[in-house]
């Protein structure tokens, strides 16, 4: 007979408590190990005992704890990724949740509301207090006001102009729209998507503070903020986190943002840790991407750079194999082992990809293994 129990240990990293939840099989000493067969009841027991040992970290002292692998739903919204299939995206989020990825990062501008709607559909039936919703504000495609950001197309191919705008009334409206699309009455972490140079930071943060007072938001965060901007924001509201780009080939935040966040106990959520798929080792030199896919024509995806990156990945591939892991999983584990990095946001467009992402928590890296990877990365000069 096999029963299951949970154990929890806590340690502090960069001033933050990190929680390890482990699902342990508690076997009767007289029990006999069985071989699982497709369709047998034992299969469920096997699945439970091999659930990834997900790690959770509190964002500053906000009371919001998130899974260190967080589901990034940019690609799920289809925008700039050549479209998406809603059922696959919903399935990916639910598959992630089943493996301990309880946190989901989204934004209104991802698919012009479509990503948030997908998240809302995916969390129906899940206990709301066991899911952490991280969304954003400050990128308007339906209002020509603020700092012009880009020209783009929606999922139907219609031209759109997107503006960075974080005025007080706009934030209140965006929050109500997000709550409606997500089908919830509160947001766990509300992040300014990009700085808006046309609106004083204190006005923006006062609006977020108001939403916290009203119980519609639990914690305030920013995204793509510099240290100076974080310092300015903190004059008005306590920030829990900064969400920034970071990967093996994009490490500029190590110069200033990382030291500041470590010193001031701010969580760092990193997006694109797999660099849009480049660091999975699956991209081939000269590979073509569909119209509307942001990797099409991207400087990191030139044949020369893809070859250069793949050459380095091939040197660390044997280490991944010793861990029974993919290159992508090894890259995610390396990312989470870097000083100050709290959370890695990882996207998936179907359940299979979601499972592979969560499985990055199946193993640990030793100091010597991290050092070995770092030595190989020195061949990748910043591009």
Give catalytic residue positions: 110
Residues 234 and 213: their CA atoms lie apart, in Å, by 16
Residues 7 and 233: their CA atoms lie apart, in Å, by 38
Asked if 254 and 266 count as a contact pair (C-beta separation under 8 A), the reply is: no
Nearest to 298 by CA among 288, 313, 309: 288
């Amino acid at each position: 007979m096999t029963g299951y129990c949970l154990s929890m240990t806590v340690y502090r990293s960069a001033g933050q408590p990190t929680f390890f939840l482990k699902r342990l099989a508690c076997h009767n000493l007289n029990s006999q190990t069985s071989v699982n067969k497709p369709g047998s009841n034992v299969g469920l027991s096997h699945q439970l005992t091999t659930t990834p040992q997900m790690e959770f970290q509190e964002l500053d002292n906000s009371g919001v704890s998130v899974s260190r692998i967080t589901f990034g739903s940019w690609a799920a919204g289809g925008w700039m990724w050549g479209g998406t299939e809603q059922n696959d995206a919903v399935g990916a989020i639910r598959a992630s949740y089943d493996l301990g990825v309880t946190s989901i990062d989204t934004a209104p501008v991802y698919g012009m509301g479509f990503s948030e709607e997908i998240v809302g559909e995916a969390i129906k039936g899940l206990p709301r207090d066991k899911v952490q919703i991280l969304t954003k504000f400050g990128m308007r495609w339906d209002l020509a006001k603020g700092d012009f950001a880009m020209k783009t197309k929606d999922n139907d191919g219609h031209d759109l102009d997107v503006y960075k705008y974080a005025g007080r009334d706009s934030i209140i409206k965006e929050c109500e729209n997000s709550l409606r699309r997500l089908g919830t009455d509160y947001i766990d972490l509300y992040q300014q998507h990009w700085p808006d140079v046309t609106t004083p930071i204190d006005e923006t943060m006062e609006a977020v503070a108001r939403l916290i007072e009203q119980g519609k938001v639990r914690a305030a965060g920013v995204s793509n903020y510099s240290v100076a901007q974080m310092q300015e924001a903190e004059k008005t509201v306590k920030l829990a986190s900064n969400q920034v780009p970071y990967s093996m080939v994009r490490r500029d935040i190590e110069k200033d943002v990382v030291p500041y966040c470590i010193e001031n106990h701010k969580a760092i959520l990193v997006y694109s840790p797999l660099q849009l798929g480049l660091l999975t080792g699956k991209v081939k030199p000269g590979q073509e991407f569909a119209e509307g896919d942001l990797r099409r024509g991207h400087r990191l995806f030139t044949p020369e750079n893809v070859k250069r990156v793949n050459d380095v990945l091939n040197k660390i591939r044997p280490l991944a194999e010793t861990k029974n892991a993919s290159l992508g999983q090894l890259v995610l584990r390396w990312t989470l082992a870097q000083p100050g990095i709290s959370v890695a946001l990882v996207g998936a467009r179907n359940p299979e990809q979601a499972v592979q992402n969560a499985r990055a928590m199946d193993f640990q890296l030793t100091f010597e293994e991290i050092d070995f990877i770092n030595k190989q990365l020195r061949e990748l000069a910043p591009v």
